Every structure is written in structure tokens, then in C-alpha cells.
Amino acid sequence: MGRLFDMIVMVDWSAAAKPTPPKPSADAVWMAAARGGEVGEPEYFRTRAACLDRLATLLRAEIAAGRRVLAGFDFPFGWPRGLARAVTGDDAALGLWAWLADAVEDAPDNSNNRFAVAERLNAQLPGVGPFWGRPATADHPGVPEKGRARDGHGLPERRLVEAVVKGAQPCWKLYTTGSVGSQALLGVAALERLRRREALAGHVQVWPFETGLVPPSAPVCFAEIYPSLLRPEVKEGEVKDAAQVRAVAGAYAALDAAGALGARFAAGPGLSDEERAVVAREEAWILGAGASFAPPGPRALKDDCFALPPGVDWEPVDAALARLRARVACVCEAEDLALAQADGRILAEPALAIRAHPPEPNAAVDGYAFAHAAMGAGALPLLAGRAAAGAPFSGVVPPGAALRILTGATLPAGTDTVVMDEDATAEGGVLRFEPRLKPGANRRRAGENLTAGAVAAPAGRRLTPADLAQIAAGGLGAVRARRRLRVAVLSTGDEIAAPGAAPPPGAVFDSNRPMLLAMLARMGFEPVDLGVAPDDAAAVRAALDRGAAGADAIIASGGASAGDEDHMSRALREAGTLGSWRIAMKPGRPLALGMWRGAPVFGLPGNPVAAFVCALLFARPALAVMAGADWPEPRPLMLPAAFAKRKKAGRREFLRARLTEAGAVEAFHSEGSGLIGGLSWAEGLAELPDGALDLKPGDPVAFHGFPSLGL
């Protein structure tokens, strides 16, 4: 998702009962705007009315110019579930907004009747409260002075979002420090009147009440913010409120510029469908709450990120993986992609459904639709006509009647249940069936697969064809995904000859490079072929230079140990970036990790089987994170062994293996690291633990199928 707004305007609100001092001060109204990557100087207003007039002028100009604006306000847009219904008879928060716009009096000099309004609201609920806090001299006995005096009002103390945001105050408090309740009463009434003004009416959407948990479609969006989510740097002599509003405008603008603001409109992670509905209709949400304000994007890896701590040169597999995991990060930029080009790409931000799927209740079978409450004895008159997918019935089915309906058709008004063809007969205009159906039988509920605003696919996921179907069902035609990670592959050694060429005496054909290039392609990366470098320091350095210039990472096979001709390790060591990792595993052991001109280098063993296993176990998960995905956790199957194996403690072993017809794990007859035929024969790897083992046929053994390892 690209940039959503041309301007970001943030307002720090105040419930002051009189104009604030002429000199810019704290606990007043402040506003800052960001446009084109620049944040303007914060503006100070002594009264709410002055700020609203300035904001109205700004919004009218932006609308007239065809530009889009996000306007954020630091007061609650809603109250805990139940208040709107108690006051207006409906759960919709905007009904309460309209009520407050009529009830609240807020004069140009900041004088207002907020305590009287809170008293009226309390009177519409049982018990005492929920609003509380007032000056002792205020003549509003229906508003208790202390929160502990409240009792029996029946409403929750906090909104759902206030369980996520540390330090957020409840909306009921009206007086003294943290009295966001007063700010909300005055602010909501002010925004409702603002959006009714000439040239603004019809051009403003309130998130999430009018948009759902998705980005807005109108030119102007009002959203709730909470500046304390950020800890801005306060300039010398600057008022903290000014610093906050400047910082929050810049933070939201940076997210928007990175294409990451759209995901913040989904509300927080972990909400149930019921809670999401409460947020979208009643309570509202703080834009960005529950998510980081750091724009997602690539970051450079440090040159010493693979260096081992002093004294560590031999590590168990799990410790080595944990160390590697802590050192890698995403390096791939995000781009907008049509779904047709998105297969296999990694999402940079969640794909959020823009409408429910199904959008309306529909039939799961061919049959007849009717109202369950009027099912009677199972003999219903049939109406003329039918409902079909794409051709809905335009009328209303009266109680006690039925209508022909086909699979996928929207349920006609007046119906909620479908009897399938096989269970019914239709003769002489009468439908007959056994009246044993449950309410809603054979009906797909609206949003049963996806609700509007729900995550169709999460950030960090490598998209599959099934994911594309789910995203399309949610109404999206494009996604924000990472570009493919480019990985260069280099073979080293004088003895290496290109396949198909006439080899000199003593040469071996280069089997590692074709294998690794194909592995990378299957893993979803973009392979770059660097060819073969001879055992010459200058040639190896030149090849590494080409790799760093044209790729994000380099995989080299051979030269991973410390021998005289291991020029790869020597080049990395001389550059000061080498980490020679001796892994307690078989096959594999030597693994050279380093940085070359900003590109990570994975130096694999030269033996093909060892190179294959190390690429799967170490390079694959690290490259996945660099590409923007989550670290892939191994998920082996525990299956009976069809072989015997005795091993000493100290090293983890990986055997080439495949499954028998009976579902047992069969191991290749030889463990030699140079026997490439065992890789072609195998369907996966059998993993034997670090400790001593006396494995017998039938004992459980961990089996990693190659598909689970990205192949």
C-alpha cells in the first residue's frame, strides 16, 4: 500500500475552561502539519474555537485542491461499550457524537458546560456514575467527586484500546490530571460540528466508525491519536506539548511515506471478531496503538555482525542458529505489486480485507430458502422466481413462504435457512420437507471467511496461490511486498571445472554451484551466478566485489576453513569481518561467515553434501529474514526409523533419508559427504540429536522433508 495522504495534521487538545496564556504554554491547544516529508512549526491556540477555525480553513483548501488529509486528535473518539446504547438506543458511536454536538455548549472563550452534560449522561444510567470528577464548588451532584463513589452503572471502566496503551486514562475522568473525559466530551462535540461545516460536509470520514478497520476513502479522515506513544526530543526552550505534536505529525508522515500507515488502520493484533466489531462501531481505536512507529524497511548489517565472542570457536547447532538469528535483519525495500505478480513474494505489511467475504449471507447448497421461525410442519408455498449467484432476488420472502435458491446466491430478505434439494420435494407450488433443520442451516454467514478490515495475509508471509485467493476474496487487487532478495553464488578452487567443459587432469566438475543456484530459486530468492574463482587472492576478491555490487548476499562453497588455499576465509579475515564458525554437526562443521562491502558472505564447505546441509540449516533461515520473512522454525515429523544407528555425544548429525511405503524413515547407505547421489536419492534429512544415541528400527526419529525446508 502506497502513500495515503498528502498532508498529516495533528492536534493536541485541551479542555481548559478559559483562554490559555498569551505566551505559548503547556496544557493548551497545539497543532502541527507535515507535508512532503517536512513538518511545519507547531501552532499555538489560546482557545479551541481558534484552532477549529484554522483547521477548517486548512481542510477546505486541501479539499478544493484535490488533496487528502489525515487529521489526528489526542482525545478518545468513543467510550467503553454500552454508553452509546444507553443514551441513544443504538450501539453506533456517531449517534452519541450527534447527541453531544447538540448537548455541549463550548463558547469562543472556552467556557463550557461539560459537567452538566456529564450529569445528564449519568442520569441515563443506573447507579452512580460512570462519569466522575468535578471541582468541589461545582453544583452538579449527579457527578461524583471521586471515582470510588461510583457504583452500579454497569459499564466497563476502560475501552479495549486502553488495555494495549500503557498509561492511557479511562474516559470517565473529568477533572484534575489525566482528565481525558472532559477532552473527549468537548472534542467529540467539536468534531461533529466541524464535519458539518460548509465545504466539509460529505468530505470527512471518522475512523473507524465510517470506514471500518481499513483506510478511508474520503478526502479527509479524522482519527484518534495518543502522542504519548512517542517520546520526542524536546528542543531547548520548547514546550513539551509542541514537541509532541511535531513528533507525532512527523511519525505518521514517515509511516505514510514508507507505505506502512495503511496497516495501522486495522487496529491492534489479537482482537477477536467480536472485539473488532466493538472497536469499529462503539469504542474507536488509537491509530497505531499496538504497533511500532518505526517505518518498516531495510537496514544495513554491521560489518562485525558475524564475529564470535572471545573464546567461542565451537558451537552446538542450536546456539549457532540463535546467534545467527540475532544478527540478521531485513534488507529488501517494499514495492506495490498486482496480485498477478505477487506469488512467492513476501508481504511488507498485512493485506487487509476491504470488504467482508462473503459480503452477504448466501446459500451453501442448491435448495430453497425460507425463514426458520415460520418453518411450521415443513409445507411452504413456493414463490415465483429464484435467487442465483450474481442474480439476487429483489423482493422479500414473506414468513411462511419459500424461494428457489442456488449455491452462492445471496439469501433473499426474509430468509435465514436453506433446505437442500435432496431433502425436499416441490410439487404444485408447494415445498415439502422434514422440519428438522436448525436455524441458519446451509447458510454461509456474511464475513464467515473474512470480515472487513481483517488480515487476509500477515506481514512477513511468503505468498502462496491460496493466499492470493484469500487476498482477492477480501477485495484487494494489489499488495505491498518486498522485492526479491538477490543472492550471488560463487565456487572457488583451481580444481573446479565448469560442467560440459573438457576438464584438465585432476579437476572435478562444479556440482555445488548449479545445486545452490537452484536451491535459492526454489526458496524464492533471485540467484546471481558469479561463476568459479581460482585459488588466487585477487580473483577471489574480484568475485566478491562483483557479488557485493550485484546482490544482497553471497554464498560461496569451498574455502571455508583455514587452509593455505582457502582464500575466501583469508579475504574476509583480512577485511576484519570473518567469523569462522565451527559447528558441532555432521556433515558441515566449517562455516565461514563475514561481510564484504556490506554484503553478508556465507562460506560453505566444499563437499556437496555438507554444502547442501549447511545451506538449508544456516543460509536459508538467515536469507529469509533478510528478504523480509519471519525466521522459519523447523517442524520435523517424528516417524519410526527403518535403520539402526549408534553415535557418540558431541555432534548433531543429519542423514540423507526418505520414507518407505510404510511411512518409516530410511537412511542412505553411506554418510560420505562427497556422495552426491545420496542427495538425489533422498526426500529429506533425518536429524539425530547432539547426545549419544543407540537408535534401533522402530524408534522415533526426526524427519525433515525437503518441502518443509523450502525445496
Fold of 335-357+449-482: Molybdopterin biosynthesis moea protein, domain 2 (3.90.105)
Instruction: Determine the Cα–Cα distance for residues 187 and 96; give it in Å rounded to an integer.
Output: 13
Q: Say what the pLDDT of residue 292 is.
A: 61
Q: Say what the pLDDT of residue 418 is.
A: 97
Fold of 362-444: Molybdopterin biosynthesis moeA protein; domain 3 (2.170.190)
Is-cis flag, bond preceding 208, omega within 30? yes
Every domain of the chain with CATH number 2.40.340.10 lies at 637-709
Every domain of the chain with CATH number 3.40.980.10 lies at 486-626
Instruction: Determine the Cα–Cα distance for residues 492 and 533; give it in Å rounded to an integer.
Output: 5
Q: Say what the pLDDT of residue 564 is.
A: 45
3-state secondary structure of 512: helix
The owner of cell 430478505 is 413
pLDDT along the chain (711 residues), means of 10: 85 94 93 89 95 95 94 96 94 96 96 96 93 90 91 90 81 87 96 93 95 91 89 73 90 84 78 86 90 57 52 71 84 89 92 87 96 93 95 94 96 96 94 94 90 85 95 91 94 79 77 94 94 84 88 82 59 66 78 82 88 92 92 93 93 94 93 83 94 94 95 88
Q: Say what the pLDDT of residue 598 is.
A: 80
Are 557 and 496 a contacting pair, CB within 8 Å?
no
What's 132's DSSP letter? B
Opening angle at CA 436, ends 431 and 440, nearest 5 = 85
Q: What is the pTM of this model?
A: 0.61
Instruction: Determine the Cα–Cα distance for residues 87 and 122; give it in Å rounded to an integer.
Output: 9
Tell me the CB-side half-sphere exposure of residue 335, using CA atoms within 13 A.
Answer: 13
Task: Give CATH for domain 486-626.
Answer: 3.40.980.10
Every domain of the chain with CATH number 3.90.105.10 lies at 335-357+449-482
Count the Cβ atoms, other than its own, within 10 Å of residue 92: 15
Q: Say what the pLDDT of residue 297 is.
A: 54
pLDDT tens track for 493-547: 777 777 877 777 777 888 899 999 999 999 999 999 998 888 788 888 888 889 9
Q: Dihedral sign, CA of 238, 241, 245, 251?
A: positive
pLDDT tens track for 113-149: 999 999 999 999 999 999 999 998 889 999 999 988 9
Strands (E), 271-346: 314-315, 334-338
The owner of cell 536451491 is 519
Instruction: Determine the Cα–Cα distance for residues 184 and 303; give it in Å rounded to an integer.
Output: 50
Q: Say what the pLDDT of residue 423 is.
A: 95
Does 637-709 carry CATH code 2.160.20.10? no
Q: Say what the pLDDT of residue 86 is.
A: 94
SS (H, E, C) 410-476: ECCECCCEEEEHHHEEEECCEEEECCCCCCCCCEECCCCCECCCCEEECCCCECCHHHHHHHHHCCC
